């Protein structure tokens, strides 16, 4: 009887940990903004600028880390942190493009992706 209860408890633990992580697979057009907040991630947008045989170029627009920009007068405004990055595509499996806290974004090489599109996977743990 104890073995059955132990097996049920272990099964429930695995089921709860599997439910705690959500993965979203997206077919993203080059230049399209992916808002991670829509998937439970941070207030960051990922834009795929281009993909070729060996690397992928993305722009990250981070609204959580704003920066102060001076104008002609004494006034200024806050602007999101914008970062352009180029990543070498992994030989096998996905390439991580972004990670913060419990959110990760991966480029997944796929042969069934349409022209001028990239396959991204957004994983968020809750």
Residue 7 domain-assigned (yes or no)? no
* 34-55 per-position pLDDT tens digit: 999 999 999 999 999 999 888 9
Question: What is the CB neighbour count within 10 angstroms for residue 66?
Answer: 12
* 65-110 per-position pLDDT tens digit: 887 776 666 666 778 888 999 999 888 889 999 999 999 999 998 8
> Per DSSP, what are the bridge partners of residue 99?
104
Residue 101 domain-assigned (yes or no)? yes
Residue 113 domain-assigned (yes or no)? yes
Residue 57 domain-assigned (yes or no)? yes
pTM over 0.95: no
Residue 16 domain-assigned (yes or no)? no
Please report the pLDDT score of residue 71 as a whole number: 65
Residue 5 domain-assigned (yes or no)? no
Domain count of the chain?
Answer: 1
Q: How far apart are CA 39 and CA 21, in angstroms?
A: 11
Contact between residue 78 and residue 70 where contact means Cβ atoms under 8 Å apart: no
Quote the domain boundaries for residue 33: 22-125
Residue 104 domain-assigned (yes or no)? yes
């Amino acid at each position: 009887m104890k073995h059955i209860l132990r097996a049920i408890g272990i099964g429930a633990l695995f089921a709860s940990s599997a439910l705690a992580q959500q993965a979203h697979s997206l077919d993203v057009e080059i230049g399209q903004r992916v808002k991670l907040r829509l998937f439970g991630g941070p207030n960051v947008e990922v834009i795929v600028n281009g993909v070729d045989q060996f690397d992928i170029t993305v722009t990250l627009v981070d609204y959580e880390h704003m920066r102060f920009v001076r104008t002609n007068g004494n006034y200024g405004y806050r602007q999101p942190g914008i970062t352009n990055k180029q990543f070498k595509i992994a030989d096998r499996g996905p390439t991580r493009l972004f990670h913060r806290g419990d959110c990760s974004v991966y480029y997944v090489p796929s042969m069934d992706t349409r022209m001028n599109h990239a396959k991204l996977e957004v994983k968020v743990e809750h």
